[in-house]
Chains A and B, each alone.
Chain A
Amino acid sequence: MTIDFQLIYQENHIAFCLCLMIGTVLGYLGTHVLKRGVVVVGISLAQFAAIGGILAEHVFCEHGHSHSHTHSHENEPLAYFCSISAVILIAVFYSVVRKYKKNISLEAIIGVTYAIGFATAVFIISICGSQELHTERFAGDLNAIMGFGSILPCIMAFGAVTICAIVFHKPLTHISNNYDFKKESISVIFWDILFYTMMGVSISYAIVHIGVVMVFVFLVVPAVIASLFTTKLLFQMPIIVLAVAVASMIGLSVPYIAYDSWKLELSTGPHIGLMLGLILVVAALVKVATGHIVLSKR
């Protein structure tokens, strides 16, 4: 069996750059999400961003897009507008509910609304006459990338989020480190809105290429891997970049190797996610083996 690495590079270098960019930015946001203890919010925001895209595709567009299997039309400004609007609406909903909720945790409300969001997406797709969920909504369709032009909006959005992350790094980190104590003050609400807007924009652009579940995986898994080794962001970021790079490289190569060897046509997205999961397991085992994580008997 010979592996044509040149072909794999030629076919995948754009997808690799995209994964590295999305994984690094979402990984940075993931470190904040972990510190704030609002892990489920990532997948919920991604689900509502997807609903925005589905609404744009099935309800607002009237030109027979509903049966298309590709998501090229989702690059349209309307789809991005609907996705970002849906994310901002749900983020405002969570902010308001957090203040007035009684007897129930915010995580429970987020978990429940995520499931309702998923069902709503299926519901909209079904009543618009389509019977399939289109699995690329979950794990993306990196094979559909046709040159740097097709990912340009995503590069611009992530560039803007990166600039915000660098400029506002100090206040965002300060709030994440003291999330439980400071949530009532007005300035914190402003930084909260900025943080969720950054998340909303990056998620809305990322799901077009990598899907809802992969957004959640890129948000949480690299950040958890980095948190196993260090709590300092300066050291966490190289670990995040390395984990994303290794997982993307192997995940993108697997379908080519499988096709060359066994003529199997596979999607790339899930394999990147599974590789990240594998790296997490290996990292955790290394920490247990070296005695840095002690398994409690209770």
Chain B
Amino acid sequence: MLTSEAVNFFLMQLLLIAVVLILHTYIGLHVIRRTLIFSDLALDQLAAFGILLCIVINSNEETGNLVQLNDPITYIYALGAVTFGSFLLAVIKPKSKNIPREAVIGIIFAISLLACFAITDPVNGGEMLFDGTLKGDLDFVTWGLVKVTVIVYLLLLVFHYIFRKKFIALAENPETIKNAKFWDFLFFLSQGIITILIVPVAGVFLAYVFLMLPAAMATMFKKQWKSALMLGWSLGFIACTLGLFASYNIWDLRFFENWPYSSTLVVFMGAFFLTALLIRCIKPLKTNDKIKGTC
């Protein structure tokens, strides 16, 4: 029997997951169709860099860390870092076929990760801080955070709905867009803002998986944006709910003891993804669900 505290915990978590998955799946569909696979990981890692930089700047040997991973001031630093990252992602588009754009994105991710390591290395407890940004902490989920997340995500959803034609054109016919770099920057910035809210809770890799996996599953089955969004959200929500229950060990089974929060969710979503991939490899695709140039 669940206690009222546990019910409150699950309600909070499930509401957060449900809200987060809508925008993540939608942006993930863009990322997959444009093959900017590591762009989100790069922005997630930059958000983590901003958070860690804030903590390191505000720490000293006598008083220790004055700022914690989820303090409001860390979000400002993270916003600065992702804005800079969005600018780099929008501007750097190598023309040479010897240097793919994915290489630039991958390098931004790797250098950000190494920078996180380098700035936390000399700090007391730096390794724990570094671990914290990679793994996240579900204890940071409060009703306050859920409310802020819902408001910010709704605003971003409205923004993406208003300018949907521009963003969809970036994915489908980029040559038809004027000021493509500006729209690219806005796209990456909106992607960056959602990473700021999700990284402290979910960690860098779960945040990336939230964006990529539901969208990847949906892309394999649906071409239309609306139906792909609905399918991705549904599959993602079911996988996350099962992962949450397993991580909390709701069934009180010895098998599920010590299952960590974020990686358990990823493992469940990974199992769904591999099943979807297997089905897609075996089952033929309907003609109207085929995406041009990918089959």
Chain A residues with a Cβ under 8 A of chain B: 34-35, 37, 39-40, 43, 97, 100-105, 107-112, 115-116, 118-120, 122-123, 126-127, 129, 132-133, 135, 138-139, 213-214, 216-217, 220-221, 224, 227-228, 231, 258, 264-267, 269-271, 273-274, 277, 280, 293-298
Contact = CB atoms under 8 A, between A and B. Distances in A.
A139 B295 contact: no
Interface of B: 32, 35, 37-38, 41, 91, 93, 95-96, 98-100, 102-104, 106-107, 110-111, 113-115, 117-118, 121-122, 127-128, 130-131, 134-135, 179-181, 205-206, 208-209, 212-213, 216, 219-221, 223, 257-260, 262-264, 266-267, 269-270, 273, 277, 280-281, 285, 289-291, 294-295
Nearest to B291: A103
A107 B100 CA distance: 12
Contacts of A107: 35, 37, 102
A217 B259 CA distance: 31
Contacts of B32: 104-105, 108
A280 B107 contact: yes
Given A103-B294, A224-B107, A277-B111, A231 B98 contact: yes
A97 B127 contact: no
Contact of A108 (B37, B113, B127): B37
Contacts of A120: 263, 266-267, 270
Given A43-B110, A116-B266, A274-B115, 14 more contacts: A39-B102, A109-B216, A111-B38, A120-B266, A123-B263, A132-B127, A220-B107, A221-B110, A258-B122, A267-B121, A277-B107, A293-B95, A294-B95, A296-B95
Main secondary structure of the interface of B (DSSP, over half): helix
B209 A115 contact: yes
Nearest to B203: A122
A117 to B, nearest CB: 9
B122 A264 contact: yes
Nearest to B177: A298
Contacts of B41: 111, 115
Given A109-B216, A270-B115, A122 B263 contact: yes
B35 to A, nearest CB: 5
Contacts of B35: 105, 107-108
A271 B111 CA distance: 10
Nearest to B222: A103
B208 to A, nearest CB: 5
Nearest to A294: B95
A139 B206 contact: no
Contact of B258 (A97, A119, A129): A129
B266 A119 contact: yes
A211 B43 CA distance: 21
Contacts of B285: 102-103
Contact of A116 (B38, B181, B273, B290): B273
A237 to B, nearest CB: 15
A273 B103 contact: no
A112 B213 contact: yes
A251 B290 CA distance: 49
Main secondary structure of the interface of A (DSSP, over half): helix
Contacts of A270: 114-115, 117-118, 121
B108 to A, nearest CB: 9
A110 B106 CA distance: 13
Most buried by A among B95, B113, B179: B113
B280 to A, nearest CB: 6
Given A103-B220, A111-B38, A135-B117, A123 B260 contact: yes
B171 to A, nearest CB: 13
Contacts of A216: 106, 110
A216 B270 CA distance: 23
B228 to A, nearest CB: 10
Task: Pick the 3 closest A-B CB pairs, nearest first.
Answer: A119-B266, A111-B37, A116-B270
B295 A103 contact: yes
Most buried by A among B37, B221, B258: B37
A120 B59 CA distance: 33
Contacts of B294: 101-105
B96 to A, nearest CB: 7
B267 A119 contact: yes
Nearest to B95: A296
Contacts of A138: 113-114, 117
B148 to A, nearest CB: 26
Contacts of B104: 224
A273 B233 CA distance: 37
A290 B206 CA distance: 42
Contact of A296 (B93, B128, B281, B295): B93
A98 to B, nearest CB: 11
A101 B280 contact: yes
A277 B113 CA distance: 12
Most buried by B among A97, A103, A129, A228: A103
Given A104-B220, A123-B263, A133-B134, A227 B96 contact: yes
Most buried by B among A100, A111, A224: A111
Given A103-B289, A139-B114, A227-B96, A40 B216 contact: no
